[in-house]
Amino acid sequence: MPAPATILVFDSGLGGLTVLREIVAARPDAHYVYVADDAFFPYGHHGEDEIIARVVPLIGELIATHHPDLIVIACNTASTLVLSHLRERYQLPFVGTVPAIKPACAGSKTKRVSVLGTKGTVQREYTRALIRDFAEGCEVTLVGSADLATLAEAALSGGQVSDAQISAELAPCFIGASEIAASRTDTIVLACTHYPLLMERFLKLAPWPVAWIDPAPAIARRVANLLNTPMAGTDEAGAEMIFTSGRPHRLSRTLMPFFGGRVPARTCLMSGSCGPK
Ligand code: DGL
């Protein structure tokens, strides 16, 4: 029987897990390598040149070590910048994660859409071009958050994140008078893969109901289309997790649902690069 496909999912931290869980549901037969570049987290605080210089060689190293069949860059802050460089340099399929502005604007009734991402993502020319091409007459508000990705990581790791901290980051997304439903923001693009980790809190704290647009299911469909059909009878393959810092993490149980119930084995970027277990 042929070996299962290896899919490498890459993010600056734990946000890409929200993309991973959709891909695992679509392709439970594949072998997964999840890479959190936590040594460089958060990407939103780094300049464009720094991110390119960091990610392009790191992906080369991961390809050489893990031989993936496909790589998902599960990070908007990186995808909006490095995808073209990666496709130019490496001969394998890359699937990126970019702000879902097109479906958000197509679905908005009030024509008021907000894009919530890192400061890096909302400043990117890539994001601006998506708005120019696909706004369809919508007023698009870009909201760059400095801290939400870090708050999402803290919450996932069991830390206390107050309602006030989250509300302060969400507030600029909600434009218009709350009592006039026809003219207020009705759609928010989740343009950072960390944010769906806080979805329950967002639903609770939103001043009025909106559609939250998460591209993860569409990314999973794209991945499934790019891979060969699984062989009948192929079972779930394994999963590995790499933290580039090599720092010990004790999150295996918390992370299991994202891996479709598997316990991800902790592996190293290169032999010897892991810290103490
Ligand atoms: N998860 C990343 C994204 O989708 C960014 C978080 C960060 O490292 O700043 O943009």
Pocket residues: Cβ below 6 A from ligand 1 = 11-13, 15, 41-44, 75-77, 118, 121, 149, 192-194
Pocket test of ligand 1: the residue of 14, 151, 192 to mutate, having most ligand atoms within 8 Å of its CB, is 192
Tokens 């991961």 belong to 62
Distance 264 CA to ligand 1 centre (A): 22
Token pair for 256 = 């299991």
Taking only the tens place, the pLDDT of each residue in 242-270 is: 999 988 777 878 899 999 998 888 887 65
User: Domain residues of the chain, as ranges?
Assistant: 6-97+217-275, 101-214
pTM of the predicted model as reported, rounded to 2 decimal places? 0.94
Residue 232: the pLDDT is 61
Residue 275: the pLDDT is 47
75 annotated active-site:
yes
* Phi, psi angle pair for 112, to nearest 5°: -125, 115
Q: Does domain 6-97+217-275 have CATH number 3.30.590.20?
A: no
Residue 37: the pLDDT is 97
| Tens digit of each residue's pLDDT, the chain (277 residues) | 678 899 999 999 999 999 999 999 999 999 999 999 999 999 999 999 999 999 999 999 999 999 999 999 999 999 999 999 999 999 999 999 999 999 999 999 999 999 999 999 999 999 999 999 999 999 999 999 999 999 999 999 999 999 999 999 999 999 998 888 888 999 999 999 999 999 999 999 999 999 999 999 999 999 999 998 776 655 677 899 999 998 877 787 889 999 999 888 888 765 445 544 4
Same fold, 6-97+217-275 and 101-214: yes
Pocket test of ligand 1: the residue of 10, 77, 119, 151 to mutate, having most ligand atoms within 8 Å of its CB, is 77
Distance CA 262, CA 255 (A): 9
Token pair for 43 = 């990407």
Distance 114 CA to ligand 1 centre (A): 17
Taking only the tens place, the pLDDT of each residue in 9-57 is: 999 999 999 999 999 999 999 999 999 999 999 999 999 999 999 999 9
What class does CATH assign to 101-214? alpha beta
Distance CA 68, CA 32 (A): 9
Q: Which atom of ligand 1 is least distant from the CA of 11? A: 1
Distance 145 CA to ligand 1 centre (A): 10
Residue 276: the pLDDT is 45
Tokens 């908007």 belong to 76
Residue 50: the pLDDT is 98
Tokens 């599960």 belong to 74
Pocket test of ligand 1: the residue of 19, 48, 194, 198 to mutate, having most ligand atoms within 8 Å of its CB, is 194
Distance CA 29, CA 33 (A): 13
**Exactly one of 105, 138, 173, 192 is catalytic; which is it?**
192
**DSSP one-letter string for 123-188:** H-HHHHHHHHHH-TT-EEEEEEESSHHHHHHHHHTT----HHHHHHHHGGG--S-TT-GGGS--EE
Distance 269 CA to ligand 1 centre (A): 20
